[in-house]
Homo-oligomer: A and B are copies of this chain.
């Protein structure tokens, strides 16, 4: 049956009672493709029936549909002409793992970050009202995403409007990790009388079983005729139809196609740890020694490895929900009361808390330690998730000290140092994925603020790198017979002006390397110092260009943007041969 569905219009030719079989075929297809190719898994299995019925009842050439945190939109992609593209989903050049406005006329709004869907759909619906257009506007949002304040801002606005909006609450009680906020608890016992949505003036229907085809058809047909704001609350099971995923929902949130490559699993060599795990284990070590230390995560205990501390000392970790703004100011409150909070946020999600970092932490010079995870390229999640901008947006903030450790040992040194640092708030930024050391546990070396490290002496070209990309520099220069002088800047702020000045004096050709956008980035700071010192040599800055970076593996993307060993070596050769 699925073979004949190439557009939602094909779906409409089926009778009601054919839909369950279609769902079965969809699940079989989806499970096979994603187990093979990798991608977000369980959330999509939870919305198979919903997606089928939505496309069965509505016409999304005219009606509008926004999927919150779009990783639940794979089935939607599958039904809207992109079945064949599933071989290359989330891969370089392939379809995205999230809805993408320029990928299909059925993707009405791109969503990678959480809690944006109601705002976007309400905007579209108000536009339609102004134009006297009667079509339906639907947002599908998980209960986890409801914890993001932005969703509330939109509900508050929606409840006072007359827009033709249906918000479907996809309640499965789990984000990546289990949800724990008051709104999630409320959804378990919600009824017609004690009802969050009704207090906001919103018509409410539910809860209904989101896997029951007839209930879904009945409810959505009814809501098609409603022209004002409405909530439909459905209950679904994340991972539905694939037992391992139903049982271990966090593990199966997404699957990696690397994970099931058998060639990688039976090596005996000690492997480097993930930066995340080094963060988690080190935080536990610190917390064991220092009662002041607490951990804060906005719904990312597993992804950030905050879970290591959480499992050992549950009362010392706060999972505040998908709520980066609150996470930061809550951390500021903890610090103002004498705690030493380590607040872990992904680089691209920290954009959500920019004002709080400025206004609640930096302005008051409160000692929060921000652990900015996923700094730099993240891989398959693509442009919504790359940590491309944090150096630029954080460097402008007064009172921050920003350090970007090159490897696991440096991360540990930075965390130990930050735990006792008395000079104000600290940012420690590190990338997604594996480090370069076989044993992450080092003897802790004290860090001195604003100091760099000379990793190799050389006499022809100076390279100044920041962060983990420095390991690519090391690989690139190791056979170049000490012609290259390599400095790991380590601190972005305050930058090591002395050593940079030395380097400017010693070399008339300098390369800066960062895995971050060039505008406002690290290399620009070096160029500024150079300009101020009337440096007459040449500075080449490697980094991310002024564009959103596509999806792809980190290896592919580093290669494309000349940030890998080979790219750096080519850059060196080009500069060498210029003179």
Contacts and interface: CB of A to CB of B under 8 A. Distances in A.
A97 to B, nearest CB: 14
Contact of A200 (B153, B180, B196, B354): B196
B326 A113 contact: no
Contacts of A531: 527-528, 530-531, 535, 539
Given A122-B330, A182-B202, A527-B527, A109 B336 contact: yes
Nearest to A331: B123
B329 A150 contact: yes
Interface in A341-374: 341, 348-349, 351-352, 354-356, 358-360, 362-364
B150 A326 contact: yes
A181 B199 contact: no
Given A180-B160, A531-B535, A126 B360 contact: no
Tell me how many chains of this kind the complex includes. Answer: 2
A113 B359 contact: yes
A317 to B, nearest CB: 11
B157 A185 contact: no
B120 A336 contact: yes
Interface string A77-111: 00000000000000000000000010000001110
A540 to B, nearest CB: 9
Contact of A124 (B160, B190, B336, B528): B336
B182 A360 contact: no
Nearest to A160: B182
Contacts of A272: none
Nearest to A520: B520
A338 B64 CA distance: 13
Given A147-B156, A149-B153, A359-B112, A334 B127 contact: yes
A150 B186 CA distance: 19
A195 B199 contact: yes
A268 to B, nearest CB: 43
A28 B519 CA distance: 54
A210 interface: no
Contacts of A326: 119, 150, 153-154, 157
Given A149-B325, A152-B149, A181-B157, A519 B395 contact: yes
A398 B548 contact: yes
A323 interface: yes
Contacts of A389: 358, 396-397
Given A157-B320, A338-B127, A531-B539, A150 B356 contact: yes
Contacts of A131: 338
A288 to B, nearest CB: 15
B157 A517 contact: no
A444 interface: no
Given A396-B392, A547-B398, A358 B363 contact: no
Contact of A528 (B123, B185, B524): B524
Nearest to A350: B355
A123 B186 CA distance: 23
Contacts of A186: 199-201
Interface of A: 64, 101, 108-110, 112-113, 116, 119-128, 130-131, 147-160, 180-183, 185-186, 190, 193-196, 198-202, 294, 315-316, 318, 320-321, 323, 325-326, 328-339, 341, 348-349, 351-352, 354-356, 358-360, 362-364, 383-384, 389, 392-393, 395-399, 517, 519-521, 524-525, 527-528, 530-532, 534-536, 538-539, 546-548
15 contacts: A123-B329, A124-B334, A127-B339, A130-B339, A154-B329, A157-B330, A159-B185, A186-B199, A196-B200, A349-B355, A354-B355, A399-B547, A524-B528, A527-B527, A532-B539
Given A194-B198, A351-B355, A534-B538, 5 more contacts: A123-B329, A123-B334, A156-B183, A156-B321, A393-B393
